[in-house]
Amino acid sequence: MNVGIIGCGFIGTEIAQFIDKGKDFKLIGLNDTNKSKAHILIKKLKINKPELMSLDDLIQNSDLIIESASKDIIQKLLQNKNLDKKNKKLLIMSTGGLIQNLNLINGVKNCEILLPSGAISGLDAIKSVSGRIKSLTLTTTKTVKSLEGAPFIIKNNIKLNKTNKKILIFYGNLVDAVDGFPQNINVAATLFLASKFENITIKIIADPNTKFNTHEIIATGDFGKISAITQNLPSKNPRTSHLAVLSAIQTIKNIKNNIKIGS
């Protein structure tokens, strides 16, 4: 299966190196607005030596397209004339971009879209009760370093480096959370896509004394109560949990697995 990766940062590099070690997939193309990142990644690979491709060429020539760039690329991807073909698969890491383009994702009929569970647990249970949820809350607690530079932090002039205890910095809805924390809250978008529940309450807490990125999901309805807590250690990129990378790699492995576990 020919693979193309869009975005050659930390996640793209980890996925590329995983593919480079196996035999089921062949990495043929890379795309990044920063070409130097792509060239650095190519040098790290031992078996596959992919080409630096335009977005059009990468989508046209790849059986599996992996997006690991940012939510800003999602619209271009979903609108690309080469995407919606049978036997193509698109794996999206920046699920926050889907929230802003739900009309486009509904128009994709042939290409299979894969959304890893990322840095949260409990999505199988949430999917099973979709349509029966009465309340759904996501509380995300992150290290100060992982939240620095987020648009919401800058806009509201929040001085995270001056706090010595955990503080609630955001309480609101999904759309505002995605806009304010585009690199931190993809889990909220994934939760919405699994639950189809429009009134998710999002809480974001900055904790200078934690080493974990923690996501707590609480859902209630006529089924009872679902509670899931995931404590992630950050990866080399503090905005990305290590589990998010492992989840993406497992999603790729599942393409070739005969036994499918979970819904």
Helix, strand, coil: what percent of the chain each, to 5?
35, 25, 40
The Cα 199–Cα 248 span in angstroms is 27
CB 4 within 8 A of CB 62: yes
Catalytic annotation present for 215: yes
The candidate with the shortest Cα–Cα distance to 13, out of 245, 254, 179, is 245
Choosing from 215, 232, 240, 241, the catalytic residue is: 215
243's CB contacts (< 8 A; 6+ apart) are 118, 119, 230, 232
Largest CA distance in the chain: 54
Q: CA 28, 33, 34: angle at the middle one, nearest 5?
A: 95
What CA–CA distances, in Å, run from 243 to 75, 173, 187, 205, 240? 26, 24, 12, 19, 8
CB 96 within 8 A of CB 189: yes
Active centre residues (catalytic): 215
